[in-house]
Amino acid sequence: MNDLYEAFHHHFDVVSADTTRLIETAYRLRYQVYCLERPYEDSQAFPQQMEHDEFDLHSIHSLVKCRRSGNYTGLVRLVLPNPVDPEAHLPMEKFCYADPKSTGIDLSHVPRESIAEISRFSVSKALMQQCVAKSELVSVDRDFGREDEGVQQGGVKASQMLPHITLGLFAGIVRMSAQHRITHWLAVMEPTLLRFLTRYGIHFQSAGPLVNYHGKRQPAVAEIDTVLAGIHAKRRDVWNIITDYGRIWPLNGSAEVAGAR
């Protein structure tokens, strides 16, 4: 086990929202981020303070929990194909102009049940602030080409927590994808988030022009095996976290193989 892996699991847990209570926790965290902290949605539309939409009927969530505070600080949703109508559009297909073929990834021959959309990728600044730990935290941003310890001394700032929470969310995405035998991702992400992910070897392909969808967003697409192989080549320490050393998704594996584990 490496220092980054141990540090992550010392501070955080990746939790599947697989109970009514945890699903409601996810909706409340979405309300916190999307209605209060970054008011893309009208808070008055959700009197129970739980943000949700029509895609939640066929979606699953993962949460990142801070062990020190006990708070859930981040969440991500994976929108699965509609089981009643598999050809129904996913959010990117419904709200954005996108052309995956322009990226070299042709989804026309990919079974619809193998395509899902990453959505509601959220970290609460307020709750992350409460997660600030006094102990040391291995930095995700260390110069991984050099043998240094990469440890933050004298306490941890909230901004130093963000990469760890982000990687935890991505670990949740990989786990959910393995469980449901997903092979390709769609996403509509902030350009800053896409750039942030590339720092850790996580690369998506732009699939169209910027759109105004909860702010400026970039439609993107990815083949999971290709993304994970790239992370393994560039940031083995990151790959170890998001695949749990390949136990969740073996290198150059498949959703079918990973889901059967």
What would the pLDDT profile of 132-181 be if each residue is shown by its tens digit?
654 456 667 654 333 333 334 344 566 678 889 999 999 999 999 999 99
Question: What is the reported pTM?
Answer: 0.87
Give pLDDT tens digits for 6-51: 888 988 999 999 999 999 999 999 999 999 999 989 999 999 999 9
Give the Å distances, CA to CA, from 26 to 29, 83, 121, 168, 186.
Answer: 5, 22, 11, 15, 21
Answer whether residue 120 is part of any domain. Answer: yes
Answer whether residue 144 is part of any domain. Answer: no
Residue range(s) defining the domain that contains residue 94: 3-137+151-259
Answer whether residue 77 is part of any domain. Answer: yes
Write the DSSP string, 29-60. HHHIIIIIIS--S-GGG-TTS----GGGGGEE
Answer whether residue 248 is part of any domain. Answer: yes
pLDDT at 150: 36
Answer whether residue 50 is part of any domain. Answer: yes
Return the higher-pLDDT residue of 202 and 208: 202
- Across all residues in the chain, what is the average pLDDT? 86
Give pLDDT tens digits for 54-107: 999 999 999 999 988 899 999 999 999 999 998 899 999 888 877 888 888 889
d(CA 164, CA 25): 20
Amino acid at 3: D
Answer whether residue 143 is part of any domain. Answer: no
Number of domains in the chain: 1
Cβ atoms of 189 and 208 closer than 8 Å: no
Write the DSSP string, 77-102. EEEPPPSS-TTSPPHHHHHS---GGG
pLDDT at 131: 79
pLDDT at 7: 85
- Model confidence at 258, in pLDDT bands (50, 70, 90)? very low
Apex 21 CA angle, 244 and 188, nearest 5:
60
Answer whether residue 162 is part of any domain. Answer: yes
Return the higher-pLDDT residue of 115 and 137: 115
Distance linking the first and last C-alpha atoms of the chain? 20
Structure tokens at 81: 């194909």
pLDDT at 128: 86
Q: Is pLDDT at 1 greater than 80 in this prediction?
A: no
pLDDT at 240: 95
pLDDT at 83: 92
Give pLDDT tens digits for 234-243: 999 999 999 9
Give pLDDT tens digits for 121-139: 999 988 888 776 544 566 6
pLDDT at 44: 95
CATH assignment at residue 123: 3.40.630.30
